[in-house]
Amino acid sequence: MNGETPISIRDLSVFYGDLQALKDVNLDIPAKKITVVIGPSGCGKTTLLKSLNRLLDAAEGVRIRGQVVLDGEDIYAARTEVTSVRKKMGLLSQKPQVLPMSIHDNVAYGPRIHGLGSKKDLDRRVEHYLKMAGLWEEVKGRLREPASVLSVGQQQRLCLARGLAVEPEILLGDEPTSALDPQSSQNVERRLMELKKEYTVVVVTHILRQARRLADYLAFLYMGELVEHGPAAEVFAAPRDPRTRAYLTGEIS
């Protein structure tokens, strides 16, 4: 660990109406590593992830308490600009959600709204990020076609390219392979392993084997509570909490 923490979560609680989805979560996410959040369905994994880029704000009846400190700034502070928070993070959702426009325009969407680079620059930018997402070779001849013609696996890599194109510091993945076939999943995992050299990656998953493959740092959430977290090797080898042990051995799921 190099001691750098781009995201510090402090006493974070999230309520949906009367239901408390996260209970006083404290977590420092290490830079340029893959942090994997594991836990059974409904344990608050997705809520935790969405609280990082303030996507929860959009939902109805949500109350958030606590802090998420990103680059030394609390993203829930009144003066923080929500769009600039989100620009710092690329998000891969469970089901890839392409925008209703061409393959090219999907990747160009972020740079266009944020005014990154010149118009001439845009085509090079699109090519660059499609290559980073490992999709360029498959789509280079049909960039003007609608993104919806791509297969689901390709769509997820397009979403990755689209997220990278806004020049984020952090990549968030919300069970990013759950809708994909095994080969596409492998492809996306390989991309994430490569991207962690330059980006801080946070991935939520309920697939333990995927967590073992990807994780440098592991966090186990159970019923809204952050039960245990630490370097992945340590947690996998010797979980301290009985609940973590039970989850890792498949007794609770």
Partner 1 sequence: MRTVADGRLGRRKRADLFFRVLAAASAVAVLLSLVLILGTILWKSVPALSLSMLTQTPRGGFYLGKEGGILNAILGSLYLAAGATVLAFLLSLPIALYLNIYKGRASKAAAWTRFFLDVLWGVPSIVYGVFGFIVMLAIGLRASLLAGILTVALLELPIMCRAIDEVMRLVPPELKEASASLGATRFETAMRVMVRQSAPGILTGVLLAFGRGIGDAASVLFTAGFTDRVPTSLADPTATLPLAIFFQLGTPFPEVRQRAYASAAVLTLIILLISLAGRAIGRKATRHVVK
Q: Which residue of 12, 89, 171, 188 would you call a contact of partner 1, by CB under 8 A? A: 89
d(CA 194, CA 227): 29
Stretch that binds partner 1, among 91-99, 134-142, 207-215, 239-247 (CB under 8 A): 91-99
List the one residue out of 4, 47, 51, 62 whose CA is nearest residue 29.
4
Residue 61: CB minimum distance to partner 1, A: 8
Residue 229 and residue 27 in contact, taking contact as beta carbons nearer than 8 Å: yes
List the one residue out of 39, 1, 20 whose CA is nearest residue 208.
39
Considering only residues 42 through 71, tell me which ones interact with partner 1, judged by CB under 8 A.
53, 55, 58, 60-61
Q: Which residue of 16, 109, 136, 236 would you call a contact of partner 1, by CB under 8 A? A: 109
102 binds partner 1 (CB under 8 A): yes
List the one residue out of 26, 80, 29, 88 whose CA is nearest residue 53.
88
Q: Provide the sign of the torsion angle of the four alpha carbons 74, 79, 85, 88, taken in this order.
A: negative
Question: In this structure, what DSSP letter does residue 224 have?
Answer: T
List the one residue out of 189, 133, 198, 197 whose CA is nearest residue 161.
133
Residue in the block written with tokens 């404290």: 26
Residue 145: CB minimum distance to partner 1, A: 9
Considering only residues 166 through 225, tell me which ones interact with partner 1, judged by CB under 8 A.
166
The H or E element that residue 128 is part of is: helix 119-132
77 binds partner 1 (CB under 8 A): no
Q: Alpha-carbon Rg of the chain, whole angstroms?
A: 18
Identity of the residue, 7 or 147, whose beta carbon is nearer to partner 1 in the bound complex:
147
Considering only residues 144 through 173, tell me which ones interact with partner 1, judged by CB under 8 A.
146-148, 159, 162-163, 166
Residue 91: CB minimum distance to partner 1, A: 4
Residue 232: CB minimum distance to partner 1, A: 26
Residue 123: CB minimum distance to partner 1, A: 19
For residue 19, give the amino acid letter: L
Identity of the residue, 46 or 244, whose beta carbon is nearer to partner 1 in the bound complex:
46
Q: Which residue of 1, 77, 101, 152 would you call a contact of partner 1, by CB under 8 A? A: 101
Residue 98 and residue 161 in contact, taking contact as beta carbons nearer than 8 Å: no
Q: Which residues would be at the binding site for partner 1 (CB under 8 A)?
A: 53, 55, 58, 60-61, 83-84, 86-87, 89-91, 93, 95, 97-102, 109-110, 113-114, 146-148, 159, 162-163, 166
